[in-house]
Chains A and B, each alone.
Chain A
Amino acid sequence: MPLVNTRADALRLEISDVEITGLHAVGAIPGVVVLAAAGLNGPGAGLLRSHGDGASISWRAPGSETSGTEVSVGTDGSYLLEDGEDTDKWLRVQVYADYLLSLPTEATVYLTDVFNNGVGHDNVTAGESTSGNVETYQITLVNDTATDLMNLKCWIGDGAENIEISMDGTNWYRPVTEE
């Protein structure tokens, strides 16, 4: 059973010690609170489901046809649920075991984009749009595991124009591939 702060949930983005979330989650089964959803889930409707006596739950991401491995949640705590087709599409949930129903149940979880979440930074005014504007902001990549992170590589994905990266705030680069 994957634990929180492991696998695809091991690295987090923060600004000023506040975790950045890219998706709002609306919907849950009794006893479960969605704390965070991986950005790779994308906007859409996923399925949160409990099984058997209600003490194990699973997650199916939007667009996926397969629920992930059932996770035993018989005691209070945080748990990581992964989709059955892509384990990088996870939900981090808080479980209150006393509130779980003792039977199989399910709920649609609606995931929608978060705006003004820090990555998107501030709003561009009409004047800034006309004259051009440079914004600089600092994002912290947090390694929440006990394993050291070595040879970190960072690059800019397709479709993200006019963005550069700096390690020191002085020299800016625009890597677009891993190499």
Chain B
Amino acid sequence: MSRRGHCAGGEDSVSITAYSQVRFGNITRVTATSDLSGTIYYHWYLDGAFVGSTQDTSWDFILEDGEQAHVEALDTNNADFDPITNAPDGYSARRTIWWVRSISTVARTEDVDHYRVEQQQDGGEWTEIAVIPRDGDVWTYSVLTGRLTDLSTYAWRVTPVGENYEDGVTLTLASEIVVRTPDAPDFTITFDPDTDKITVAAA
């Protein structure tokens, strides 16, 4: 699920020399090894989407059952390295849904119990993909979607839900078509001892 990554330019950057991974249930911990010394900043990407920065050598990814994912890390000594401008090329299979806490009078901040995040595919039914409890100390929230279907149109909306379980004002994001790196082809290989032929076929 991972591959060798590299740092995109910069005189103080060199290649990641190795990756290792350990899986705990649906959590996969990826660890990168760098040639750099001193303070090293790692910038992590999942399916081409920037997911975060660490000084730790590891990042935990939550993957769905049977999911294929593409992980890359960029390493640098430069604290001002821009992980967006220097992001590796990629067509992400995921989106980060990000919003600011509710301050509406319909669902007042102190009355909000949780946020409901929903997703719509190709104009179909809205499906709940996450419920995020309110945290009074948090100004912004985010949810990373699951892996999205290539060439489908998606929309997302976030609704604050009050402690009385009434919905507040829904924030709907503009829909967008997802163009992502296709899955690796699924295929079978069979060997016929009578003819000594190997047949490769789509599964």
A and B found bound together: yes
A residues lining the B interface (CB < 8 Å): 26-31, 33, 42-45, 62-63, 96, 99, 110-112, 115-117, 123
**Do B85 and A112 have beta carbons less than 8 Å apart?**
no
Which residue in A44, A115, A117 is a CB contact (below 8 Å) of B82?
Answer: A44
- Chain A residue with minimal CB distance to B173? A24
Q: Does B168 belong to the interface (CB within 8 Å)? A: no
Q: Does B50 belong to the interface (CB within 8 Å)? A: yes
- Chain A residue with minimal CB distance to B49? A112
Give A13 Cβ to nearest chain B Cβ, in Å: 16
Complex formed: what's the CA distance from A28 to B140 in Å? 8
B residues lining the A interface (CB < 8 Å): 50, 82-85, 96, 98, 100, 103, 139-140, 142, 174-177
**Do B176 and A26 have beta carbons less than 8 Å apart?**
no
Q: A27-B140, A63-B85, A116-B176 are in contact. List 9 more A-B contacts (CB 8 A).
A: A26-B96, A27-B98, A28-B100, A30-B139, A44-B84, A45-B83, A45-B85, A99-B139, A111-B84
Between-chain CB contacts (< 8 Å), 28 pairs: A26-B96, A26-B98, A27-B98, A27-B140, A28-B100, A31-B139, A33-B100, A43-B84, A43-B85, A44-B82, A44-B84, A44-B85, A45-B82, A45-B83, A45-B85, A62-B82, A62-B84, A63-B85, A96-B103, A99-B103, A99-B139, A110-B50, A110-B84, A111-B84, A116-B174, A116-B175, A116-B176, A123-B177
Give B18 Cβ to nearest chain A Cβ, in Å: 27
In the complex, chain A residues whose CB is within 8 Å of the CB of B176? 115-116
Complex formed: what's the CA distance from A33 to B101 in Å? 10
- Chain A residue with minimal CB distance to B103? A96
Complex formed: what's the CA distance from A31 to B101 in Å? 10
Complex formed: what's the CA distance from A30 to B82 in Å? 23
Residue among B96, B103, B139, B174 facing the most chain A CB atoms (10 A cut-off) = B139
- Chain B residue with minimal CB distance to A21? B174
**Do A112 and B139 have beta carbons less than 8 Å apart?**
no
In the complex, chain B residues whose CB is within 8 Å of the CB of A99? 103, 139
In the complex, chain A residues whose CB is within 8 Å of the CB of B85? 42-45, 62-63
